[in-house]
Amino acid sequence: MADKYEKHFLHLPRFLKAPLLLLRRDTRQYIRTHDKVVSTVLAVLIGVFVAYAAILFRKLILLVQAHTLETGAENILDYVMALVWWKILLATTLGGLFVALIYRFILRENRAYSFVEVIEANALHHTRIPTAKGLVSAVAAAIALGSGSAAGREGPVVHLGATIASWFAQRLHLSDSVARTILGCGVAAATSASFNAPIAGVFFALEVVLGHYALHAFAPIVIASVTAAIISRIHLGDYPAFIIPDYQISSFYEFPAFLILGVVSAIAAIIFIRSVFFTENVAAKVMETSRLPDWTRPIFGGLAVGGLAIFCPYILGVGYGTTDSALKEALPLTLLLLLIVAKTAATSISLAFRFGTGVFSPTLFLGAMVGGAFGIIATRIAPELSGSQGLYAIVGMGAVCSAVLGAPISTILIVFELTGDYQITAALMVAVVISNLITHHYLHAASFFHLQMKAHGVDLEGGMARHLMRTTQVRGLIRDDYATVGEEAGLDRVRTLILEEGHNNLFVIDEQARIVGQITFPELRRYYRKREETRAEQEKKRLEAEDAGEEFIPEEQRPVHAINICRRVHEPLLPNDNLEHANDLFAREGEEILPVIDDEVRREIIGIVHLEDVLRRYNQALLEDYEK
């Protein structure tokens, strides 16, 4: 690494090169030995840079929007309502075309990076996010959102913030521990700047990305989040994302209704998540059938979203104007129910066809509609006990969003910062807990992001250590300290191999070299003990044979083969089995050694795996995870 950077000084005179190299070495030494000071300074810098990046991202969306949907306002609903249908369709289709061209010529992976890459970067890639791809992904997301994509705005902003933080970490060659803290600073600053909610930004970074609340990470992340909030408030004003009326809970008898709303929100979250993955499969089949290159997906996505928006323009963009209307009780029940279906479809299409990446805004939108519709029904059933429908819209917004994102604490804090009302927060906590429990139980995943990672072979449920157990194959732990013996091998041969040659791992194979059983010292000892116990019975049989005039052959003189004393091997390992499966098999079989076969048909043994090796590798993964 030193040679890589020293080449930049080769063209300098010697009297300049030496002090510069010395300064660079001293700077690195200072960074390594004063990580707390460095983290604090970087937290402020990242807070400033990410806040301005978030502001520029929002301005870029509005700039694109002014040219496609003919308005640069945040709330586009009133303007879109006045547009003729072909302008809406043209805007979304052109947006999809521009995004497709970015995929074709710049992002060769045919997709923009999203929040999932932030989680993976923290867990798997030492916080490294490609800077160029991260910046281009933000531009692609801004173009998609500005032209009417039904995806979210916060996801791309968080990825942009993480990209900036990763750039600092790579340039300064920070240690893994400090780099992860700095990545959390980027995430917190982006969330804080987006929602004007610094407390929620802190806990979102800790809860969803880092997965811990250690003090060494907490302090810099707080500084970055507060710094970003200050910058955002200076330029955008001290306003939250939603200005909510002062709602009150009319009676504590409403809390069972909030519990039921939690169940309804879980159902809505599950349907939303399933819809996204279903549409992803449909999109893959469409591209396969049409035989068009994958980078053309956004064109189809823009066309489909535009077609939906002609009949339901509420779905266009991040939808904060419509969400705000639901929170202020301005939408009727039929429209709320329609928007639940329409927004789910539009967002699923946008994500599946790569026409946008974020899910935060759509889940807030969906939750507000679900809560608002539930509130209207609840107030009609029990008007004397129920509060306003806007209150239920707030609770539903938090319950659906938290279930999709897997961020209950962060979502509760966001709503608390928006409302500042303890009673509403208590009601929200009930709904959020129920919603998250049901969603997690049904989907067997902590969040939508974990399901996305599982879809392409990365499973981080249970932490990095468990992921390593799931992705590490047993072939790396195979030993060859074993011996084989045929089924017809005699007892003397078995005894020689185990007692004299020291092969305690003796496997019995048939004529086709297929493994059938295993003999260890306990099996051999058990056989001799059993033979001793039957001597008296043998003597009785000998006397009976003599009385009957029949020939009697003692048990010890009868031929004993390896197949007669071996323990059957029911489920051997395969080389590509992962360590988690091996560990489960060890526990189920009660063994300390398991054979490994080449395949399930031939069943030819190629080695053995020791339980101690599996446990050692697992403990090593735990230590690595703890150090991170």
Segment 251-272 shows an average pLDDT of 92
Percent of the chain with pLDDT over 70: 86
Query: Residues 366, 340: contact at Cβ < 8 Å?
Result: yes
Residue 136 reports pLDDT greater than 80? yes
Q: How confident is the model at residue 463 (pLDDT cuts 50, 70, 90)?
A: low
pTM for the whole thing? 0.78
Give the pLDDT score at 20.
46
pLDDT of res. 285: 93
Provide the 3-class DSSP secondary structure of residue 13: coil
Best-predicted range by mean pLDDT among 232-246, 337-351, 410-424? 337-351
Q: Is 543 or 49 the better-scoring residue by pLDDT? A: 49
Q: Return the H-helix or E-strand segment holding 347.
A: helix 333-352
560 by DSSP, 3-state: which?
coil
Q: In terms of pLDDT, which residue wins out, 5 or 71? A: 71
The two three-digit tokens of residue 398, written as one number: 């938090």
Look at residue 576 and tell me whether its pLDDT is greater than 80: yes
pLDDT on residue 387: 72
Q: Which residue has the tokens 């917004």?
A: 397
The rounded mean pLDDT for the chain is: 84
Which of 572, 609, 606, 577 minimizes the C-alpha distance to 484?
606
Q: 532: buried, middle or exposed (CB in 10 Å: 19+, 13-18, 0-12)?
A: exposed
Given a cut of 90, is residue 6 above it in pLDDT? no
Of the candidates 60, 55, 89, 61, the one whose C-alpha atom is nearest the C-alpha of residue 76 is 61
pLDDT at 600 over 50: yes
- Mean pLDDT, range 371-393, rounded to an integer: 86
Confidence (pLDDT) at 194? 87
Q: Of 157-161, 270-274, 531-535, where does mean pLDDT reach its minimum?
A: 531-535
pLDDT at 622: 66
Cα separation, 27 vs 15, whole angstroms:
19
Q: Please tell me the distance from the alpha carbon of residue 261 to that of residue 274, in angstroms, as a whole number.
A: 20
Q: What is the strand order of the sheet 506-509 is part of? A: 483-486, 506-509, 515-519, 567-568
Rounded Cα gap, residues 307 and 485, in angstroms: 71
The pLDDT assigned to 461 comes to 66
Q: Which two tokens stand for residue 320?
A: 């904060």
Kindly list the structural domains of the chain, giving each domain's residue range(s) and its CATH number in brackets, ordered by start. 34-236 (1.10.3080.10), 252-291+310-459 (1.10.3080.10), 474-533+556-627 (3.10.580.10)
Dist. CA 315–CA 185, nearest whole Å: 32
Q: What is the CA radius of gyration of the chain?
A: 32
Whether the per-residue pLDDT at 459 is higher than 50: the answer is yes
d(CA 191, CA 612): 44
What tokens appear for 102 in the block? 């970015």
Q: Residue 1: what pLDDT? A: 44
pLDDT classification of 21: cutoffs 50, 70, 90: very low
Tokens found for residue 242: 């939603």
pLDDT single digits (tens) 168-197: 988 888 888 888 899 999 999 999 998 888
